[in-house]
Amino acid sequence: MSDPMPDWLTERCTSRGGVPILIRPLRADDAPSERAFIDGLSPASLYQRLLGVVKEVTDEQIAELVRQDWPRRLGLAVFGVGVAADRAQGESPVAAAGDAAAPSAEGDLLGVARFDASDRPGAAEFAIVVTDRWQRHGIGYALFQRLVRAARAAGYRELVGTTYAVNRDMIELARSYGFEVGPEEGEPSLRRLTLVLNDRAGADRIR
């Protein structure tokens, strides 16, 4: 049985791109939102997220994606919030963030990040994906912030992930947060992303 998750994993804030967001752990009842999120990804984003071609994501896989097991594993989601009120007042902080369209309804799922225990003691495997229309608006960076803090609190000493060498956006985002980027042994098309979770890793980036 998993332990209760810390309350601080749920937070309302604004991304560096000016997007009002809610970050919180995924729940079992988020399965429809997770399904819509995955179905809305472009083929390229889905390919990079799953490291290969998948014809269809099953309901069982969706249920597994929203299942929590703190502190062994965690899935964090970013939802767009406050849009309706901003429009009613004639203000749109989302519009100022770029040319992405505002969420169609409050609570749209914009991005997901997760970690899970790896085979190596003290290390967790992580993955992160942001829906195509909200990339380059600070959503991924906000997820990295909270994921690193959560992994450290969960007792992990290292976060590791894998991405395609051509996924420059992911590689640049990881490097901006302090991850080391190196080759994946035996897989020339892949890159290994590694962050040692010492006391100072990412500390100046958490706000």
Instruction: Give the start-to-end residue ranges of the domains of the chain.
Output: 7-205
| pLDDT tier, 158 (very low <50, low <70, confident <90, very high otherwise) | very high
CATH class belonging to 7-205: alpha beta
- Burial of residue 163 (number of CB atoms within 10 Å: 0-12, 13-18, 19+): buried
For the whole model, what pTM was predicted? 0.80
* 53-106 pLDDT tens trace: 556 788 999 999 999 999 999 999 999 985 433 333 334 444 444 444 444 444
pLDDT of res. 3: 85
| Backbone dihedral angles phi then psi of residue 2, each to the nearest 5 degrees | -75, 155
Q: Is residue 143 a contact partner of residue 164, using CB atoms and an 8 Å limit?
A: no
State the DSSP code for 94. Answer: T
Q: Nearest Cα to 73, choosing from 147, 170, 180, 174? A: 147
- Mean pLDDT over 17-25 rounds to 91
CA–CA dist 192, 184 (Å, integer): 5
Asked if 26 and 75 touch (Cβ cutoff 8 Å), the reply is yes
Q: Which distant-in-sequence residues (6+ apart) come within 8 Å of 30 by Cβ?
A: 66, 77, 109
